[in-house]
Every structure is written in C-alpha cells, then in structure tokens.
Amino acid sequence: MTMPHMIEPAKSGRAACRKCKKKIEKGQLRFGLAMENAFSDSGEPSYRWFHLECASQTKPVELGQAISSYDGELPDKDKLEQAIAANKKKVKPSSYPYGERSPSGRAACIHCDEKIAKGDLRIAVEREIDTGAFTTSGAGYLHVGCAAEYADDDELLEKIKTNSTSLEAADLAELESKL
C-alpha cells in the first residue's frame, strides 16, 4: 500500500521541521512525508513534517506528488515548483534500482569487479553489507552492460526509469540502448 504524502495547515504549532528544526507555526502550510507507522495495527501512516520550502530542498519528488494532489490555495506555488525542479537532480533516489552518472572512478562493478569510470552511466542496486557487528543495506553499483545479467529482472528498465530522477532524456535513451 502506497501511503499518501500531504500538504495541510499545521494543527497546533508543536511540530518542528525535520530539515531546519524550527517550529511550524499553527495554520502555516506544511508538508507531511508519510512513513510506515510501526505502532498502528490498521496500517495508518505517521508523518514527518517539513516547511514547504525545506521539503522542496530535501524531498522534492515527494513534495511534487503532494502538490499535484493538493486542492487548496498554495501561495508561491510557482516558486516551489521551480525549487522542486532544481533540487530533483541533487537528491539521491530513495528507491532502487536507479541510474546515474558516476561522480568518481572509485566504485567497482559488483558483477565484474572492474572500476566504473568517472562520468559513465551506472546502475545502483540495493545490497546487504555485513559490517561484522550487524548487517545493513546500501548501494552496490553495476556497469549498465552488467546490470541485466546481474539483476535478471524483466522490469529492470522500467524500474530504473521510474527511480532515476537525476538523469536527462538522453541518458535514459542511452541506458535503454545498452540494456
């Protein structure tokens, strides 16, 4: 079940913004990032609250979704949408797999163990990392040519397109031709 993110007027003025840590004044529009609520038997979400301007910087994709479903009056909507467009490319996707340009030449492909050159397209997939004391998850990187064989997923390209908010249309076309 997908939980809806939302925009609403602050009910009490007690919540603090998750980015700037300042209080969100009562009645001020705020963005609620829907999260799974571990304490709810009914599946009702809990929310992390942000000022709209702060959310446009740290959660631009999610805020864009909430704006598209918000029926009320939104002051400075154009300004928010410009900030969302500018920040979408800066924020790492939260869902795997996604494509991106390699920012350095340090990462090695987890399939063939060869380095991925700086500026080359690469695919990030979620993998488990054993730190010795515990196991966590993080990104593992693949050459585009290695991704199809490693992932063995018929819907890989569609998932990458959905999650790759920082790639231009030309990059997506290149990914499609190599997959």
Sign of the four-CA dihedral 74, 80, 81, 82: positive
User: Torsion over CA of 59, 135, 115 and 144, rounded to 10 degrees?
Assistant: -60
Q: Contact at 8 Å (CB) between 171 and 122? A: no
Check if 6-88 and 98-178 are the same fold. yes
> How do the domains of the chain map onto residue ranges?
6-88, 98-178
Q: Which CATH topology does 98-178 take?
A: first zn-finger domain of poly(adp-ribose) polymerase-1 (3.30.1740)
The CATH code of the domain at 6-88 is 3.30.1740.10
pLDDT at 1: 41
pLDDT at 104: 92
Distances from the Cα of 41 to the Cα of 28, 87, 130, angstroms: 30, 35, 32
pTM of the model: 0.55
| pLDDT averaged per 10 residues in sequence order, the chain, 179 residues | 80 94 96 83 86 92 89 90 84 77 93 95 86 79 89 82 81 87
pLDDT at position 155 is 83
pLDDT for res 93 = 59
